[in-house]
Every structure is written in structure tokens, then in C-alpha cells.
Structure 1
Amino acid sequence: MDTLRSKGWVFDAPSSSNPWYHFYTLYDFAAVDWSAFLDTIPAMFALTFFGVLHVPINVPALGISTGEDNLNVDRELIAHGVTNALSGCVGSIQNYLVYTNSLLFIDSGGNSRLAGVMLAAATAGILVVGPVIVGFIPVMVVGALIFLLGIELMQEALVDTWGKLHRHEYLTVVIIVATMGAWDFVVGIFVGIILACFSFVVQTSRKSAIRATFSGKITGSTVRRPPIQQRFLKEAGQQTLIIKLGGYLFFGTIVSVENTMRGLIEEEAFNRRPIRFLTLDFSRVYGIDFSAAEAFTRINRILRQRNVQMTISGLDVEGDVGRSLQNVGLFEPMSGVEIFEDLNSALEFCENDYLKVFYSHREALLNGKNKTSTFLEVPMAQGQSHLGDAVVSSPRQQYLQQAARTTLHENEVAVMAPAAWSAMRQPLPLLLQTFQGLTTRNEDFWFRVCRYFVRESYAAGNILYHEGDAPKGFYLLESGMLRAEYELPQGRYFEIIVAGRPCGELPFFSETRRTATVKAEQDCVSWCLTVEKWQALRNEEPEIARELLTVSLKLTTERMDSITSYVLTTAA
């Protein structure tokens, strides 16, 4: 053996006759240089950081190489933390998962818990025997082992991934391999992390943060409004633009969002399609950085120069995204940004402002005051101007005025009819208003059904019925406002039911369970057709009952169209 050691075929044996525990006998607290100890603290933090970092890198890589699917990085981190703490307490070295050694051990058959226990026992035996065993290991065996591991790793990194990775990903692997070969394994890891971050930024920036855009003409709120209002809002809704954002907004993705919004208010684009409300839906945004939050303040300032109202929906003000936007001053009163919990509320806000123009024209038409003025000013509270343009003849104002005039003139009978109905007793005017445009029958026909409806009053906060209840009535709302809340496995949404609209028609006439919980938002007066009265109507006036069923199906069709449009928009 001495000849082999002298010729370099076998490693030299350490010249020591001390027992394996001799190391612990040398330790003396009195001999510790505490200033030198403090100097090593940065190195300790570096080792700790690397000890934490290597687990989520090496463990999944080892799992991929061995085909192991039962991976739990949290469990591995806890195991490394506990073992490193115990190792430090007994003065041993850092516990570290060496990818190459682990792969060699598993490929050699050590792929079971028993193999791990046997390896631990052998390691303990070597500890007791001492370093003298090194003097019996051939150098060529260690060299061959290093070459074998290196060749296998090069094949796995450069050959097996050829054609499976994108070009920039493969280039990243080549750079990491070259860095590890030229400098060090740790340097290669850090270079790989930097390249991965750069690649993430580039790839994410290429994907637009804008999930979808919709016009208010296509997407409206779920508020149940009279048909004439719905027709006007469908035309006026062209001035509402809904932009749905998604993902994590940062300096890489916000650029395209800002450019898109700047393009909307450029002179040519704005004249071609003037917008009044820009609704940004944040329901799919899960994070935002400071630069992106600042960009929204710039966007708002640019929009205000064109008198475009920015509204934000689907935002939790107390959440991370909400606080980030609040920190840059986007929610300050002077910014004029309106915040809503969901898209439905934001759309309702826009529609209510549009209806101010509509009712101004309607009042003028009824009073005959629109003969001397081409355009009507919208009555606004002092200091408040969601709809007001600086110039009354602006393209947006002209379009709204024209939409209101067209809708009112096309439905002049519907506008003038309520004045004629004022002399009638309820619920006949309410029936005629609710069924307007859905039936050709006149007031003489519907007068016969009035005695079957019962007048009921509800104070604000009272519940008419709960989800799952058996239907006991069909309601026509004379005054006030109702709120229908739907709880579905896919989520929840609500409808606002205004005066002059029906409620609960589908479950009542189909004899199915209630699908929503309805409560009074304000003090309400309604006319109710009970189950008993409905049975009597079917027996005594079958023609009216059939017509009522037909009208209820048409009402349900209108509701389904509105809800389907809204649901598809929120799902985009």
C-alpha cells in the first residue's frame, strides 16, 4: 500500500491516531475570539440563505431526474431546518442535499428508506473508524466517479433538453453550464437565477395584462329597468368602455395597458369613438407594484383632460392591490375615481348618469319645453359633473342627446301613455306599464285581472322570500326598490328591481323553488298575485291566464339575455 500511495494510485492516509471524538476535547469557550466570531456572521447568513435556496432548486430537479412525483418542498425545508439545527448544536457541518451524489446513490439502487438507513449506518461507522479509511481508496475510482457524474449531468442538461426547450431557455441552460465550468457551482446558480428573472420579465411583458374589452352597448348591469330605458341605455352604452385586467401588474405589463388607454383618447380615435366612462375591472388582478400603481394615476390625469370618468370595479380597498393604489393617491377625492365592489355596481353607476339625460328629455317632451332648444342641459348638483362636458355640443353630448331624442320619439306612445294612465286605479296602470311592448292586449283586457292582485307593503330591510322557498306569489313593484341576491356554486351576483318591473315570475309560474333571496332596499309597495288567486284566475279567466304566461316567458327571456351577457363578461 505504501508503494501505491507513493506512486499516486491510492490516497495518502491521514497521520493521526486520535479517536473520532478528539475534536470535541479541543473546544474551549475561554479560547474563543468573539471578534472573529462576529466577522463570520455574514458568511453564516450566506450559508443559511443558500441552504434555504438550494432545497426548492435541487429537490424538484432530483424528482424530475428520478421520476418521483411525491414531492413536498415544505416538508423538505422543515427537514433541512431541523437537521441543520441539530448539526449545529453538536458542532457538525451544514446539511446539504448534493444533487449529483444523490442522483448517483439512487441510480445505484438506493431508492428506498432502507437504503437511506443503511447509508446513515455506514456513515456512522466511518465516523467511528476515523479518516484512516481514506488511505485505502484508489484515486482512479474517485476520478472515474467524477467523470461519470459530469458526463451524465452534461447529457441531461444539454443533450436531453435539445428540442424540448425554447431557444432562450436552452441558451440560459448553456450559459449556466458554462458559468459553472469556468467559475463555480454557486456562481452558476446565481447567474441562473438572474437569467430566470430576466426571462420571466421579458415573457410576462409580452403577454398583455388586458384580458378583454367590452362596450357598454353589449354589457349592462343586471338592474331590471323598463324596456324604454333599456333601449336608451343600449345606445348610450357605446360611450362606456369596460377593460378587464388580469395577472400581476408591474413595470413590464403596465406599459401596454397605458399605451392602450392613451390610444383611446387620441384625437382621431376619440372623435371616431368618444367615451365617457372607462371602467377598469380588477377582479382578476392579484398583485401590483409601485410603478404600475403610479401609472394609473397618470392614466387618470390624462383621462380627466378629456372629461372621461374612470371607475374601478372588483377591487378590495383593504387588500394588497387596493392599498397599493391608495398609497399613490388614486383614491383621493380630487382624483374623481369611483371605486365599486363589483362590475355590476360600476355599470349601474354609469347607467344612472346616462338616465339623467334621458329623463331631462322625457320631462321636456311631456311639458313641451324642447321646442326652443336643440340641446338640453343635464341638471347636476353643484360641484358634481360626471356627465358634463365643457362644451354642450361636444361629440359625446350630441350623441347622448340624439340617443335620448330618438328613443323617446320612437316610443312616444310609451312616453305619453303614463299621463293617460294617471286617472286609472292601481294595479291597472302598473300592469300596462310592466307589460308594455310584450302584449297587444289593451287596458280593457287587463282590467279583468286587477281583482286578482293584492296590494302589499314592505319596509326597507324586509325579506319577501328566501332562496329555496316554495313560491307563494308573483309581484309587480309599484314603488321602491328590491334586491335579489343569488348564491351559486360558481359565485354570487345580485339584481336591482326598480318600480314598474316584475319579480319572481319564473319560479311562480313554473312551480319551482325560489332561486334567489329578495329583500326590500327601500320602502316598497307591490301588487301580489298569490297561488290561490292564480288558480282562481286559471279557472275563471283562462284566456287571461294564458296571456299572462306568455308575457311572463317574454319577461324571463329579457332577464336571461341581460344576465347571460353580464355573466359572460365577468367570466372573461
Structure 2
Amino acid sequence: MQATVGAVVAGALSVVFVVSFVSLVFAGPLGADLARALGFVLAGAVVMSLVSALVMPWRGTVIQPQDAPGILLAVAASGIAVGWTGDRDGLFATVVVMMGVASLLTGAVLLMAGWLRLGHATRFMPYPVLCGFLAATGLRLLIAAVETATGQAVSRVTLAEFARPEVLLLWVPPMAAACGLAWLTRRMRSGLALPLGIALIAVGFYGVLALFGRDLTWAAQAGLLLDVDRDADFLGALGPWVLAEADWWAIAAQAPVLLAVTGLAMISVALFASALEIAVGTRIDTNQELRATGLANLSGGLAGAMPGFHYFAVTMLARQLGVRGIWPGIGVAGCSAAVLVFGAGFLGYLPVGLFAAVLGYVGLELSRTWLWNVRRQLPPREFAVTAAIVGVAIVIGLVEAIAFGLLAAVALFVVAYAGLDVVRLRTTAAHLRSRVERSDAAQQCLVREGKRAAIFHLEGFLFFGTATRLRNELVSLLDQADPGITFVLLDVRRVSGLDASAARALAAVHGACLRAGARLLICGQSPQVAATLRRAGLDAGVDKPCRFASCDAAMRYVEDTLLADATALPAAEPSLLDCLRRDHPDFEPAQWFHHRHIPRGTVLFEERAAADCMVLIETGRLCAEHTLPDGSIMAISTMLPGALVGEIGLYASVPRTARVVAETDVTLRVIAETTLRRLEAEAPAVSATFHRLAAAHLARRLMLTSKLLRDADL
């Protein structure tokens, strides 16, 4: 019994809203055909409710024609009516078919978006634009409520008419009732508040009539009742005849409005699906919601329904009343069918102020939620966009307001994104090194000479705003550098793309490098980035930029060039053993650290093996490798003569972190852990010097890492 009563209450409330929204479209010159229009829309609402009850992922969701599409369709219907020169039946058929086409188009797009799993794309609408559109919809509903109550269109020309006492009596009470509804629903916080408030408005209207001794005939003559022919046959108006009578060119001319309705429906499905997920505590797939809502619109559109999506208020009301499963949709469909069959006479006795109050209530709630409340949630610039959309919607129109809002949001994005720093890392070769482990003398030389190589790691998408900022920074660096910059290295591995303006900006950087006597190095570019740079002319001429597959390859080139040009690097670099001999002339390394020859390709250390020794390279080259989870090998570093290898694992007593392989034939000294212990016991002074030199080697590497982290602001 409780479920039955709840389903009837939810269905009756839904019918009131549907009738209110239809009256938005069939107003003014179209008002005489409201009864015929209700037949089509109610028939479509029956089909839409039944289909949604069966296919919606969360059983209990109610899909019905909505207010925001109604506002947009009202704009389109008004545009058709203004320029109409044909007969009344043709105008009616054109508007009805336009509503059906809007539903079919919406259904097809939603269904396709769900099948293609584009649910995430529905969230790409900028939030300030969405707020502005919903707030503008609210204010347009308030205006529509006044027009419904008075039967007159609101415009700058007719504005003074609404201040006349007899007109004030028509629209002020419904607007006061709308305010009362809004207060009651916020105060009670119960699903029953809204139907109770609507019932009180109806009872109050009839009570006032009785108090002043007026009957329904007088009320109808005074324009206080819904202008529906009580003898009208809603079912009799249905039929395919409207397809032949409709002006399809006039419908096609409203394509921008129809597309706006479709886009609005996609966004609304995502919003209401998220709200429903929070309300019921169940994971809801947006793509399934899109598919189900698309099917409901396709089915309802065939009968002439307005586009619809989740009716959140009715859905939650049914849930609070204990109605579960398919029964909310069945209840809404049943009430719509009852009004469709028997309701012409009943609707003709309902006060028009009731429907105006419902429209006013929805408008107040939308305006309060999306304009008044968000003023504290949005930054001032974004709220200015929201407010401007509302102004444009009132002065010009909703479709133009959406276009304006999108353009304003794009402008804000461009300004904000242009202020972002696309440089992920600013450093020099003094702090950033390749994976080549060099001798201490070479490392110290790179510390001195590395400032001549400016390194920039870029990320994100480069467009005219961010690229211009980067160009100015690099040109200023080349002009002011002392000593002069020899290399400018741009790592674009993390650049997702760039536009033509950004490519031209990098071409300007290349020109500045040539004028300053520096070389531009570009590494890590994707095929798309390379193609864009090539079109900008960066591959033309003899002095084109050097390209490298990776930043490490570019850094090796820079380091080799800096070391080759250096004059302070001695021809024979003192190794760690040379330093031991210098400080301890009696020390003979061959007695402690045995000599070993490693052929090319030999594995010296296995990854995760026990660290029981370290080695000092005398000739040749070693490579450290890491095995990835998929079994592939990643090169970590290359170690040259003079490099100490394996000292971290030995000192920290941890397994080897990499596999070490001889890239060439290698000669080295093996410094075993047992030998170090014996050295500590038999020659403590030599042992202390060895540990000091090894610690200095590690400290220099740590200092280099610290400086690099500082450059990266980490």
C-alpha cells in the first residue's frame, strides 16, 4: 500500500512538472494549442517513463521531460512562430515535430556516446559556463513563470504593463507561492515537502475563490485557470499527420538550438548520475546511464516527447516514500497515461498560478544554487563569466549565452595557461650529468665548465602564450650570459605537442643561439613534435639544431665537447690508487687490490647479488643495466676509467642494485671486503685514506644530486 501511494504521489508531481514545462513552449501565439501539445508530450512521457523503468542501470530512476530543454525549445518555438506565415495546424505540427526531433537527436547522441564509452567527455564543459547556463535557465524560468501567470510576454516594451495593479494581482501571488515552496522544501528537508506545498497552493487558490464568493466559471473568464479545452481529446490529436504538415526547413533552421539541447542533456546525465551515486551509495557507470537515457529519449521522441533525463527530485521522493525497483517509473507512466486519457477536463480546472508557481520554484532553486551559492565557490574571474552568461542570456538569448560563455572560458584558460611554466627543470651541465661515470678530475672539470651548457626540460603543450615566455627567457639568457653559453639543450620528451606559433618561437631561439655563437640541441622529440618543428623551418640550412634521441645522448655529447675543449684537465688523471701512493709512498696496491682483466661482454656483477667487493676501472668501459618487469634491459650508466664501481652496495651492505657488464675489454682493480678489513687491521692509516677518498667520491656525487634537486625546486 505504501509503495502504491508513493508511486501515485511521485507520478502526480511529475505530471505537474511536465505540464508546466510544456506550457513554456506553447505560450503566446502557440497557447491555443496547449491541449493538443499535451497529448503528444504526455504520450511521449508515458513511453519514456516505461522504458527508463526497464533499462536504467539503477532501478528507480525516473526519466522525464526537463526544464532546461524546455527553455531552449521555447526559444526555438518562439523563433518559428514569429516568422510563420502558414496556417495554425502547420505551426503546431512544426513545433511538435521539432520537439520529437530534439528527443530523437538527443537519444541517438547519448546512445552513441555511451556505446563509444565517452562518458568522461561529458565532464569537459567548463564549470563556470555550466553554472552560468543553469543560473540563466533559472532566471528564464522566473520570467516564464510571470508570463505563464499573466499570459503576456516580458520584454523591454511591455515591462511597464506588469506594474499595473490588475496585472500585479496575476503574477505576484504565484511568485509569492514559489518563494513559499522554496522556503518549505529547505525548511522541511523531506521528499513530501514539495507535493505538500503544491497541494497547499491549490487548496489555497480554491479557498480564496470561496472566500470571495467566486466560482470556477468566473475564474476561467478571468484567466486564472489553465487555458485547456475541457472537452479536448488528448488522444485524438495524436497521429503521424504532423509529419506531413510540419515545415522541415523551419526545423532545420533551429539546428543550433537542437545541438545545444543535446549537449545540455549529455552534461546533465553526467551531473545527475554523479549526484545519484552519492545519494544512493552505489557505483554508477556514466556510460550505462548515457545508453539507457538515450534509449528512453529515442522511444519517447517517436511519440513526440520533449527531451528528458534524470528527474532527480522525483527519483529521490519515490525513494523516501519507500518506492523501489521499477515502480517509480511505472507510477509516473501510469499518472501520465491517466491524464492523457481522462485529464483534459481535470486540467482545465487547475489554476494557472499553480503551474506558474512550480516554474517559479524551479527557477528560484536553480538561481539560488548556481548563481547565489557559487559566488563563494568560484574565483572572482570565473564568477564574472558565470554572471556575464546570465546577463547575455536575459538580454540576447540562451544559445548565444552558451557560446559567449565557452569563448570567455577559453579566453580565461589561455590567459591562465600562458602563465604556467612549461619548464620542468632549469639547470646546467655543472649539475646535470649523463649516465657516464667519469673520473673525479673529469667531474671537477665539468663542474667548472658545465655552466656553459644551459639545460631546459620542457613539459605539457606548447602554444603561443607559453612558448613566447620561453623564447624571451632563452633570448635574455643568451644576451646576458657571462661566460657565454655554448649549448642550449631543450629536452622535449614530455612535450605532448605544440602549435605553429610555438614552433616559430623555437625557431627564433635557434636564431638567437646562432647569433650568440651557441648550438641548439633538441632531444627526445616525438614524431609529431619533429614534424611541426620541421614545418617551421628548423631543419633547413647548414646550422640546423642537433637532434638526439634522448637527453642522455645529448648530455654525453655536451660533456665530451666540454672536456675536449677544457685546458685545465691533466693528460694523466690521478686515480684513487695514485692518490694512495702519493699519501703513502710505501703502499703497494698490487699487494692488496689484485689486478683483473675482463673480456668484452662479461657480466661483472649480477643484479640483487651480494655486494662483497668494489672495483676501480683502469682501462675500458663498464655498463650498469637494470632488468624491467617485462624482461627488457634498461641501461642505467656507463663507467669510464677512474670510476669507482660497487662502493654503495659494499658500504651499505645491500644487494647489487644493477647488473654490470663490460662494454669493452676492461682492466680493473678488485677491492674485496675481506681485503678492506685486513687493511684496516694491518695498515689503518692507508685504510683511513682509502675510506676518505671513497667518501669524497660519494660526497661529490651526492652534492651534484643535491644541486640538481635544488634546480628542480624539489
Q: Does 1:558 align with 2:687?
A: no
Q: Choose from 190, 193, 199 the match for 2:406.
A: 193
Partner of 1:350: 558
2:643 to 490, 501, 505: 501
Which residue pairs with 2:623 in the alignment? 483
CA RMSD across the alignment: 4.1
Describe the superposition over 1:39-90 as per-residue Cα deviations: whole angstroms up to 9, x where unpaired.
96686686356424543367448968998697865554444444444545x4
Contact 1:110/1:116 (8 A) holds in 2: no
Instruction: Name which of 363, 366, 384 aligns with 1:153.
Output: 366
Match of 1:459 in 2: 600
Q: Which residue of the partner structure matches residue 450 of structure 2?
A: 237
Q: Match for residue 47 of structure 1? A: 258
Matched, 1:224 2:437: yes
**Does the 8 A contact of 1:343 with 1:570 survive in 2?**
no
Q: Any conservation in 2 of the 1:316–1:322 contact (CA below 8 Å)?
A: yes
Amino acid at match of 1:5: A
1:294–1:328 Cα contact (<8 Å) kept: yes
CA contact (8 A) 2:318 2:328 kept: no
Q: What SS class does the counterpart of residue 445 from structure 1 fall into?
A: coil
In 2 relative to 1, CA 57–444 (structure 1 residues): closer, same or farther, beyond 3 Å?
A: farther
Partners in 2 of 1:112 and 1:312 — Cα distance?
67
Corresponding residue for residue 288 of structure 1:
498
- CA displacement at 1:7 relative to structure 2: 3.1
Given the superposition, is the C-alpha separation of residues 470 and 114 from structure 1 closer, same or farther in structure 2, using an over 3 Å criterion? Answer: farther
Q: How does 1:327-342 map to 2 (within 5 A)?
A: 327-330=535-538, 334=542, 336-342=544-550
Alpha-carbon spacing, 1:223–1:176, altered in 2? closer, same or farther (3 Å): same
Distance 1:277 1:259 in 2: 17
- Cα drift, residue 433 of structure 1: 1.7
Given candidates 213, 216, 221, the residue that maps to 2:426 is 213
Q: Which residue of 2 aligns with 1:297?
A: 507
Partner Cα distance (1:455, 1:561) in 2: 31
- 1:444-499 Cα offsets, whole Å, 9 max, x none, are 3133535x414131314x4332331212432222222222246899xx98322112
What is the rounded CA distance, in whole Å, between the counterparts of 1:223 and 1:43 in structure 2? 67
Give the secondary-structure state (helix, strand or coil) at the position aligned to 1:275.
Answer: coil
**Partner SS, residue 470 of structure 2:** helix
Q: 2:613 aligns with which of 463, 473, 476?
A: 473
User: d(CA) in 2 for partners of 1:416 and 1:254?
Assistant: 43
TM-score normalized with structure 1 length: 0.72
User: Where does the alignment leave 5 or more consecutive residues of structure 2 unmatched?
Assistant: 1-215
In structure 2, the residue matched to 1:449 is 591
> Secondary structure, in 3 states, of the residue corresponding to 1:253?
helix
Residue 182 of structure 1 is matched in structure 2 by 395
Counterparts of 1:303-382 in structure 2, within 5 Å, are 303-313=513-523, 315-318=524-527, 320-330=528-538, 334=542, 336-358=544-566
How much identity, in percent, do the aligned residues show? 21
Give the letter for the 2:547 counterpart. Answer: I
Matches of 1:321 and 1:40 in 2, distance apart? 44
Q: Say which SS state the counterpart of residue 11 (structure 1) adopts.
A: coil
Question: Does 2:228 align with 1:13?
Answer: yes
d(CA) in 1 for partners of 2:354 and 2:234?
Answer: 27
- For these two proteins, the number of residue pairs brought into alignment is 488
Aligned amino acid, residue 513 of structure 1: P
CA shift, 1:278, in A, is 0.9
Measure, in 1, the Cα distance between the counterparts of 2:318 and 2:655: 63
Contact 1:205–1:253 under 8 Å retained in 2: yes
Q: 1:95 Cα deviation (Å)? A: 3.8
Query: 1:122 matched to which residue of 2?
Result: 331
Query: In structure 2, what residue type is equivalent to 1:12?
Result: D
Assess, with a 3 A threshold, how the Cα gap between structure 1 residues 257 and 440 changes in structure 2: closer, same or farther: same
- Displacement of 1:242 in angstroms is 1.9
Post-superposition offset of 1:275: 0.8
SS of 1:476 mapped into structure 2: strand
In structure 2, C-alpha distance between the alignment counterparts of 1:454 and 1:10, rounded to whole Å = 108
> Relative contact order: is structure 1 or structure 2 higher (C-alpha 8 Å, sep ≥ 6)?
2
Query: 1 CA distance for matches of 2:297 and 2:661?
Result: 61
Superimposed CA distance per residue, residues 136-192 of structure 1 (whole angstroms, 9 cap, x where no aligned partner)? 432111111222222333333443234543332222121111122233333322221
- Within-5 A mapping of 1:514-533: 514-530=656-672
Question: d(CA) in 1 for partners of 2:647 and 2:433?
Answer: 22
